[in-house]
Structure 1
Amino acid sequence: MNTLELRRRELQGEPSGWGASVHPVLQRIYAARGVLQPDGVEHRLQRLVPPQSLGGLEAATDLLAEAIRADWAILIAGDYDCDGATGTAVAVRGLRMLGARRVGYAVPNRFVHGYGLTPALVDSLQPRPQLVVTVDNGVASVAGVARARELGMRVIVTDHHLPGEQLPDCDALVNPNVNLEKCGQASPLFDPCAQDARMKNLAGVGVMFYLLLALRAKLRGQGAFAGGEPDLSTLLDLVALGTVADLVPLDFNNRVLVKAGLRRIRGGRASAGIAALIECGRRSATTLCASDLGFVVGPRLNAAGRLEDMQLGVECLLTDDAAQARRYAGQLDQINRERRDLQASMVAEAEVMTAGLRDIDAVGVALYEPSWHAGVVGLVASKLKERLHRPVIAFAPATLDECGDASPLADARAGEVHGRHSDAGHLRGSGRSIPGFHLRDALVMIDARQPGLIERFGGHAMAAGLSLRAADLPRFAAAFDAVARELIAPERLQAALYTDGELPAGSLSLELALQLRGAGPWGQAFPEPLFDNVFECAGWKPMGEGHWRLDLRDPRDGSLHDAVMFNVGAATPPARLRAVYEFVVNDWQGRESPRLLLRHVEPA
């Protein structure tokens, strides 16, 4: 729909204080991300924001300490995505390390229970636990928490999602994005301190890790560790994986967590499950980057929750048996292959549907296909959002159970729930947005203007989910497009690719490529460096199916550079081209060399 416009990131100040060992190009990259001095990338664990900055921990740790002392049966209620799976594993492992002897877990099956701590999930818990601790969900599980309390269970909610109008009536609530004082909630759940803004980007697994840190401090004060204090840093590989995979912004605090987890993995100290998933993805643990967690490891876990049951993923992360971990990882890899095939066919169908959008000029795009699988429909919305540079909501049929009150939708992923027995009379949608358009707020506007059109909704700025009657889809699509037109300035509809500018002649060296690989961690809101230069194509050949292997000549000094580009189909490269690329290290048979990983090319 749009041509791609190349834009260069501007420096946010003048870098200073860097030693001569830090390449000037890297200093410039950091400055374009707001890091002007070395302390902005000193990702040491000692610089983590302290746990007491997170509201709600006092009530939660009091209850957990009591549960450990009294040997209660504790159940971790997780979520069926990577953040939820890693958070569940961190909770189970961490509580056991801190002295809890009876800790189990339950992850809802999206085809049976819906999203979060639903009444259906609560009723399925046998034997009934005395304490339920949610991870990466629960802030919108009003009915589920009420059902658990009705059955005599105590409930701690740990979550990071935005709240709805009503908060659950739980015993303790830990969520960096909930200020209970502002919500008018009674104060016993909430510490008197205000939420620290430096915590607001924590993933669900990060919230759980902080709860464990606070619990350890409380138990330490009670003299619980006469035989030696447990080392919770052993959980940081799981924290890193969940944080990167959930696409939360990598602010300084999250970069500290991710960097520490990567150090464990690179040092050969990853959990058996993560090590096996890395091996399945054919990556080297010793050189693993954050992008490998996001694009290689995370999808293999997420696939289980999308198509099957996330219990398989959690078991992979909990086992300490390397052979068993490989078996689990192999199963997850196979499910992920099925997910990729299903996603490809659904995206192809969606592209056919949107082929005429140039004519109708839709700004907010709503798509529906009766055969679509709602476990994958969010990925379809994401792919179409990238290609159209429009907010997109993709719909699939809801299950019969989801049409009732048993499975209230709580956030974006709830919009992806899809059952094997669908009801074409009701739809579940999952949406993805573009910068500057708050998707959840847009749904709030539609709900206020047309009450009853949307049955349930929730989510975030960039992702949201909803349910509605199939007969109302045309009316919703018109309302969504109208709100998008109202809120999105025309210039924001121009697809843009931001780069860090040209690399100077003579700087495309292995030394710089190694520094870029060791820097970061790069990710959401702290993007991996991209460069753009003009090259001459000195030669190329097909590589596999639909990929290029190229020799690119720098016309400024005549130097030749190895380059690859994936998924180009049957196209051929221009003789003279402007390339946007990552500058990476190619490790082949133990030999390291610099390589250009092309992301976009156009004639120059």
Structure 2
Amino acid sequence: MTRFKPRAVPPRPQWQLEQQGLHPLLARLYAARGVTTRSQLDYDLKQLIPPAQLTHAADAAVLLADAIEAGARILIVADYDCDGATACAVGVRALRAMAGDAGAVIDYLVPNRFTYGYGLSPEIVDLAAEQSPDLLVTVDNGIASIEGVARANELGIATLITDHHLPADTLPAAECIVNPNQPGCEFPSKHLAGVGVMFYVMLALRAELRTRGWFGETIAEPNLANLLDLVALGTVADVVRLDGNNRILVSQGLKRMRSGRINPGLQALFRAAGRDPAKAGSLDLGFMIGPRLNAAGRLADMSLGIEALITDDPARALNIAQQLDALNRERKDIEAGMQETALAHLDAIDPSEAAALALFDPTWHQGVIGILASRIKDRHHRPVFAFARGDNGEIKGSGRSIAGLHLRDALDLLSKREPGLFKRFGGHAMAAGATILEADFPRFRDGFARIADELLDVADRTRTLDTDGPLEAGYLSIQTVRLLEDEVWGQGFPPPLFDDEFLVDSQRVLKEKHLKLRLRKDALSIDAIQFNFSTAPGRRIRVAYRLAINEYNGVQSPQLMIEHFENT
């Protein structure tokens, strides 16, 4: 069951925003999202929280500056998703620019997820040691790597952890840890993505090197704002909350993309996706560019994606982007088959009666189970874990949650109730991963469902669509689409979703899975489409929709993108 819930629009902030010169529709939308004054929408870089407020960022800067001055070998250990890839690229580009030709060697290592799993494990440290690094720098991982850091210490390799995931009770014994979510850190924004943390560390490093008089005729001080397109991509793709600080990072990154100041790899990825970076928006990053970069980590090796982001050769960037596009198409085919199998598994149970779902199939691909879990979660509005077979009798799971159940906390509680169940687990509120023995899957499935049943209220189990209410007929236009696309939307600051009742004048099915409608309300008639529909519409429907542009034979027209509808 799905419930429509129009957002409350406090009249005074809406009026104030209009009086401060904001477009009336934007004033209404922003007031409903807690914005009370236009200054909160000031996305100038001067409004960023200073790096000095991020605990240990200055210490990390000293550690890195010392390494650069000493001509040390610095090895970045990356994660295999879009956030990790962009964080690695930010680190490689910034460190190489600041080191110049002074002798320091900056390289990276990204573990193959299927061989080594996630994080700075002892095995990864041994692999890294083959390159004889003096300093390991993790990006988007490491906060839980107690054993890996211990192994690095044994080998005499210093470690700098940069991460944003929630820590466990014990922290690794690293030389330095930068994580806004570590105990004692009072950084006002707890929602930095891994790439955001690394960007902040690079800002602190530049400030440290500046005080040392490092920059001059031989080594120019880099403009780190040129990396904000990468920061924006990683921040949006990792679905972290877009608080005010993150909106500045994303807004500045989009601004640079639109003006043509764009990373060659991102330029190539836009081209492969058939999108124009001059019109780049948050949805492009989250649904077009991010998935193509992620495809490398899901099906192959994320070093392919990182190479796309660190090369300055447009031809090489385009070649890699085309490979990533092909991998993304392959990923979609694999995902479609897995969804069919998952639905067959669900035929044996009633998902509406279960508090949570855990699924396993020996044929599933490890790199796609996170997307599968997300699709099943969206379909049934339940926390979902999907598992695929690993090695040595293990299965590896990826989970997605709904509001009301903090996924990592649920796993932590399950680990206490079922000692020895987990080989490893980690994550955050809405997404997490776990590794267990295949023989223990029933124990996980049943225990996970019991904990979800305890923690989820009845109201949480009903899907609620927070909408922005009806959209006046005069706003159903291409101009409105452009107006909304220019703004920054994302997790915690959701893009506008409107709802209204319409008459269905015509309907047809495209490619056996997409529903094309012609809708009417009073004198207004407009096209609408729902992808992967499951319910046939009646004569009158209530629709939750986003406003978009449909282009056909060179002609553009407004169109409703239907997220959900109900017959009335």
Which TM-score band applies after superposition, normalised by the shorter structure? over 0.9
Aligned length: 560
Aligned match of 2:207: 217
Aligned match of 2:123: 120
CA separation of 1:360/1:249 partners in 2, compared to 1, >3 Å: closer, same or farther?
A: closer
Spell out, residue by residue over 1:336-378, the C-alpha distance to the aligned partner (whole angstroms, 9 max, x if none): 1111111111121111111243288221211111111222112
Contact residue 23 and residue 512 of structure 1 kept, 8 A: no
Deviation at 1:436, TM superposition (A): 1.0
Contact residue 73 and residue 129 of structure 1 kept, 8 A: yes
Deviation at 1:466, TM superposition (A): 1.7
Aligned match of 1:600: 564
Aligned match of 1:514: 482
Contact residue 514 and residue 585 of structure 1 kept, 8 A: no
Deviation at 1:543, TM superposition (A): 4.5
CA separation of 1:318/1:435 partners in 2, compared to 1, >3 Å: closer, same or farther?
A: same
Aligned match of 1:546: 513
- Any idea what SS the aligned residue of 1:357 has? coil
Aligned match of 1:259: 251
| TM-score normalised to structure 1 length | 0.89
Spell out, residue by residue over 1:123-145, the C-alpha distance to the aligned partner (whole angstroms, 9 max, x if none): 12332111111100111111111
CA separation of 1:590/1:234 partners in 2, compared to 1, >3 Å: closer, same or farther?
A: farther
- Any idea what SS the aligned residue of 2:367 has? coil
Aligned match of 1:579: 543
Instruction: Provide structure 1 residue ranges, at least 5 long, that are not aligned to the other structure.
Output: 182-193, 401-424
Letter in 2 for 1:564: I
Aligned match of 1:530: 497
Deviation at 1:463, TM superposition (A): 1.4
One of 401, 412, 429 as aligned partner of 1:461? 429
- Any idea what SS the aligned residue of 1:584 has? strand
Aligned match of 2:532: 567
Aligned match of 2:24: 24
1:426 aligns with 2:394: yes
Deviation at 1:275, TM superposition (A): 0.8
1:196 aligns with 2:187: yes
Letter in 2 for 1:4: T
Aligned match of 1:293: 285
Contact residue 586 and residue 595 of structure 1 kept, 8 A: yes
Spell out, residue by residue over 1:197-254, the C-alpha distance to the aligned partner (whole angstroms, 9 max, x if none): 32x1000000000000011111111112223421001101100000000010011110
Aligned match of 1:352: 344
Distance 1:544 1:360 in 2: 29
Distance 2:196 2:99 in 1: 21
Deviation at 1:297, TM superposition (A): 0.6
Instruction: Provide structure 2 residue ranges, at least 5 long, that are not aligned to the other structure.
Output: none
Distance 2:352 2:143 in 1: 39
Distance 1:466 1:25 in 2: 44
Letter in 2 for 1:301: L
Deviation at 1:153, TM superposition (A): 1.4
One of 106, 121, 126 as aligned partner of 2:109? 106
Letter in 2 for 1:516: L
C-alpha root-mean-square deviation of aligned residues, in Å? Answer: 2.0
1:483 aligns with 2:451: yes
- Any idea what SS the aligned residue of 2:350 has? helix
Deviation at 1:512, TM superposition (A): 2.5
Distance 2:158 2:378 in 1: 43
Greater Cα shift, 466-475 or 30-39: 466-475
Distance 1:538 1:245 in 2: 37
CA separation of 1:197/1:97 partners in 2, compared to 1, >3 Å: closer, same or farther?
A: same
Letter in 2 for 1:29: L
Greater Cα shift, 275-284 or 347-356: 347-356
Distance 2:70 2:261 in 1: 33
- Any idea what SS the aligned residue of 2:347 has? helix
Aligned match of 2:334: 342
Contact residue 352 and residue 380 of structure 2 kept, 8 A: no
Contact residue 395 and residue 430 of structure 1 kept, 8 A: yes
Distance 2:348 2:469 in 1: 35
CA separation of 1:447/1:214 partners in 2, compared to 1, >3 Å: closer, same or farther?
A: same
1:433-448 pair list within 5 angstroms: 433-448=401-416
- Any idea what SS the aligned residue of 1:111 has? helix
Contact residue 13 and residue 34 of structure 1 kept, 8 A: no
Contact residue 517 and residue 585 of structure 1 kept, 8 A: no
Aligned match of 1:6: 4
Deviation at 1:586, TM superposition (A): 4.2
- Any idea what SS the aligned residue of 2:490 has? coil
CA separation of 1:359/1:23 partners in 2, compared to 1, >3 Å: closer, same or farther?
A: closer
